[in-house]
Amino acid sequence: MEKKYRLPIVFTISLFVFILRSIFISEKAFQLKYNMHFNLSNTLLFMVISLIITAGVLILNINITYFIIKKVIIRFSNVNLDNYGFKNTLYFIYLLSYSITDGISVVTSLFITITNLYTQLISLGNYILVALLLFIELNKVNVSKRVNTLLTLIILIGNSLTAVYMLLQS
Protein backbone atom coordinates (compact mmCIF):
# COMPACT_ATOMS: atom_id res chain seq x y z
CA MET A 1 0.00 0.00 0.00
CA GLU A 2 1.40 3.40 -0.96
CA LYS A 3 2.34 5.55 2.04
CA LYS A 4 0.10 8.50 1.13
CA TYR A 5 -2.99 6.24 1.04
CA ARG A 6 -2.28 4.33 4.25
CA LEU A 7 -3.70 6.87 6.70
CA PRO A 8 -6.99 7.62 4.84
CA ILE A 9 -7.66 3.91 4.34
CA VAL A 10 -6.98 3.04 7.98
CA PHE A 11 -9.05 6.05 9.10
CA THR A 12 -12.01 4.83 7.01
CA ILE A 13 -11.67 1.29 8.35
CA SER A 14 -11.44 2.50 11.96
CA LEU A 15 -14.52 4.69 11.51
CA PHE A 16 -16.43 1.72 10.07
CA VAL A 17 -15.33 -0.51 12.96
CA PHE A 18 -16.24 2.25 15.42
CA ILE A 19 -19.76 2.44 13.98
CA LEU A 20 -20.17 -1.36 14.11
CA ARG A 21 -18.88 -1.52 17.66
CA SER A 22 -21.15 1.35 18.73
CA ILE A 23 -24.18 -0.43 17.32
CA PHE A 24 -23.32 -3.65 19.15
CA ILE A 25 -22.64 -1.82 22.41
CA SER A 26 -25.80 0.25 22.21
CA GLU A 27 -27.81 -2.83 21.38
CA LYS A 28 -26.49 -4.95 24.25
CA ALA A 29 -24.68 -3.17 27.07
CA PHE A 30 -26.40 0.20 26.71
CA GLN A 31 -29.81 -1.46 26.94
CA LEU A 32 -28.86 -3.52 29.96
CA LYS A 33 -27.20 -0.73 31.93
CA TYR A 34 -29.68 2.06 31.31
CA ASN A 35 -32.84 0.07 30.50
CA MET A 36 -33.21 1.93 27.21
CA HIS A 37 -34.66 0.39 24.12
CA PHE A 38 -32.55 0.07 21.01
CA ASN A 39 -33.61 2.76 18.57
CA LEU A 40 -31.97 5.00 16.02
CA SER A 41 -31.92 8.23 18.04
CA ASN A 42 -30.35 6.62 21.14
CA THR A 43 -27.78 4.85 18.97
CA LEU A 44 -26.84 8.00 17.05
CA LEU A 45 -26.57 10.04 20.26
CA PHE A 46 -24.38 7.36 21.81
CA MET A 47 -22.20 7.20 18.68
CA VAL A 48 -21.72 10.98 18.46
CA ILE A 49 -20.76 11.30 22.14
CA SER A 50 -18.44 8.28 21.91
CA LEU A 51 -16.86 9.58 18.70
CA ILE A 52 -16.14 12.99 20.24
CA ILE A 53 -14.58 11.41 23.33
CA THR A 54 -12.59 8.88 21.29
CA ALA A 55 -11.29 11.55 18.88
CA GLY A 56 -10.26 13.78 21.79
CA VAL A 57 -8.41 10.96 23.53
CA LEU A 58 -6.77 9.91 20.26
CA ILE A 59 -5.52 13.42 19.47
CA LEU A 60 -4.33 13.94 23.05
CA ASN A 61 -2.53 10.56 23.09
CA ILE A 62 -0.82 11.22 19.77
CA ASN A 63 0.33 14.72 20.71
CA ILE A 64 1.69 13.57 24.07
CA THR A 65 3.38 10.56 22.47
CA TYR A 66 4.90 12.73 19.73
CA PHE A 67 6.14 15.28 22.27
CA ILE A 68 7.79 12.61 24.42
CA ILE A 69 9.35 10.80 21.47
CA LYS A 70 10.63 14.01 19.89
CA LYS A 71 12.18 15.27 23.15
CA VAL A 72 13.89 11.95 23.91
CA ILE A 73 15.15 11.45 20.36
CA ILE A 74 16.50 15.01 20.16
CA ARG A 75 18.31 14.43 23.45
CA PHE A 76 19.75 10.97 22.74
CA SER A 77 19.78 10.49 18.97
CA ASN A 78 20.48 12.35 15.73
CA VAL A 79 17.22 11.43 14.00
CA ASN A 80 14.99 14.25 12.73
CA LEU A 81 11.43 12.93 12.98
CA ASP A 82 9.97 15.79 10.96
CA ASN A 83 11.59 14.33 7.84
CA TYR A 84 9.60 11.11 8.29
CA GLY A 85 6.12 12.62 8.78
CA PHE A 86 6.16 10.90 12.13
CA LYS A 87 2.96 12.47 13.49
CA ASN A 88 1.02 10.95 10.58
CA THR A 89 2.75 7.66 11.32
CA LEU A 90 1.52 7.90 14.92
CA TYR A 91 -2.02 8.50 13.70
CA PHE A 92 -1.65 5.44 11.49
CA ILE A 93 -0.31 3.33 14.38
CA TYR A 94 -3.04 4.34 16.83
CA LEU A 95 -5.86 3.98 14.27
CA LEU A 96 -4.57 0.61 13.06
CA SER A 97 -4.33 -0.67 16.63
CA TYR A 98 -7.78 0.67 17.40
CA SER A 99 -9.21 -0.99 14.30
CA ILE A 100 -7.64 -4.36 15.08
CA THR A 101 -8.64 -4.48 18.75
CA ASP A 102 -12.14 -3.14 18.14
CA GLY A 103 -12.55 -5.54 15.22
CA ILE A 104 -11.74 -8.36 17.63
CA SER A 105 -14.17 -6.82 20.11
CA VAL A 106 -16.98 -6.73 17.52
CA VAL A 107 -16.42 -10.35 16.49
CA THR A 108 -16.21 -11.65 20.05
CA SER A 109 -19.24 -9.61 21.13
CA LEU A 110 -21.30 -11.86 18.89
CA PHE A 111 -20.49 -14.78 21.21
CA ILE A 112 -20.08 -13.21 24.65
CA THR A 113 -21.59 -10.29 26.53
CA ILE A 114 -19.29 -7.29 26.65
CA THR A 115 -18.40 -6.51 30.25
CA ASN A 116 -16.36 -3.71 31.75
CA LEU A 117 -13.48 -6.11 32.35
CA TYR A 118 -13.56 -7.23 28.73
CA THR A 119 -13.57 -3.62 27.48
CA GLN A 120 -10.62 -2.76 29.72
CA LEU A 121 -8.65 -5.81 28.55
CA ILE A 122 -9.30 -4.79 24.93
CA SER A 123 -8.01 -1.29 25.78
CA LEU A 124 -4.89 -2.78 27.33
CA GLY A 125 -4.40 -4.95 24.24
CA ASN A 126 -4.77 -1.84 22.09
CA TYR A 127 -1.94 -0.09 23.93
CA ILE A 128 0.29 -3.16 23.77
CA LEU A 129 -0.26 -3.27 20.00
CA VAL A 130 0.50 0.48 19.78
CA ALA A 131 3.78 -0.10 21.63
CA LEU A 132 4.73 -2.99 19.35
CA LEU A 133 3.99 -1.03 16.18
CA LEU A 134 5.82 2.00 17.60
CA PHE A 135 8.87 -0.15 18.32
CA ILE A 136 8.85 -1.43 14.73
CA GLU A 137 8.43 2.08 13.32
CA LEU A 138 11.24 3.54 15.43
CA ASN A 139 13.48 0.72 14.18
CA LYS A 140 12.70 1.83 10.63
CA VAL A 141 13.89 5.39 11.30
CA ASN A 142 17.19 4.12 12.74
CA VAL A 143 16.65 4.99 16.39
CA SER A 144 19.14 3.12 18.57
CA LYS A 145 17.88 -0.03 20.31
CA ARG A 146 18.28 1.43 23.82
CA VAL A 147 16.42 4.63 23.02
CA ASN A 148 13.78 2.67 21.09
CA THR A 149 13.21 0.28 23.98
CA LEU A 150 13.09 3.15 26.48
CA LEU A 151 10.58 5.10 24.39
CA THR A 152 8.42 2.09 23.72
CA LEU A 153 8.26 1.21 27.43
CA ILE A 154 7.50 4.81 28.42
CA ILE A 155 4.69 5.05 25.88
CA LEU A 156 3.31 1.60 26.81
CA ILE A 157 3.31 2.39 30.53
CA GLY A 158 1.91 5.88 29.99
CA ASN A 159 -0.89 4.71 27.72
CA SER A 160 -1.70 1.68 29.85
CA LEU A 161 -1.98 3.46 33.20
CA THR A 162 -5.62 4.37 32.58
CA ALA A 163 -6.52 0.83 31.52
CA VAL A 164 -4.67 -0.65 34.52
CA TYR A 165 -6.39 1.80 36.87
CA MET A 166 -9.76 0.81 35.42
CA LEU A 167 -8.86 -2.88 35.83
CA LEU A 168 -7.98 -2.34 39.48
CA GLN A 169 -11.26 -0.50 40.11
CA SER A 170 -13.34 -3.40 38.71
Residue 30 reports pLDDT greater than 60:
no
Query: What does the alpha-carbon distance between residue 21 and residue 155 come to, in Å, rounded to a whole number?
Result: 26
Chain-wide mean pLDDT for the chain? 81
pTM equals 0.79
Residue 165 reports pLDDT greater than 80:
no
Residue 13 near residue 99 (C-beta atoms within 8 A): yes
Q: Give pLDDT, residue 24.
A: 66
CA-wise closest residue to 45 among 60, 30, 59, 57: 30
- 109-154 pLDDT, tens digit per residue, is 777 766 777 777 888 888 899 999 999 998 888 888 898 999 899 8
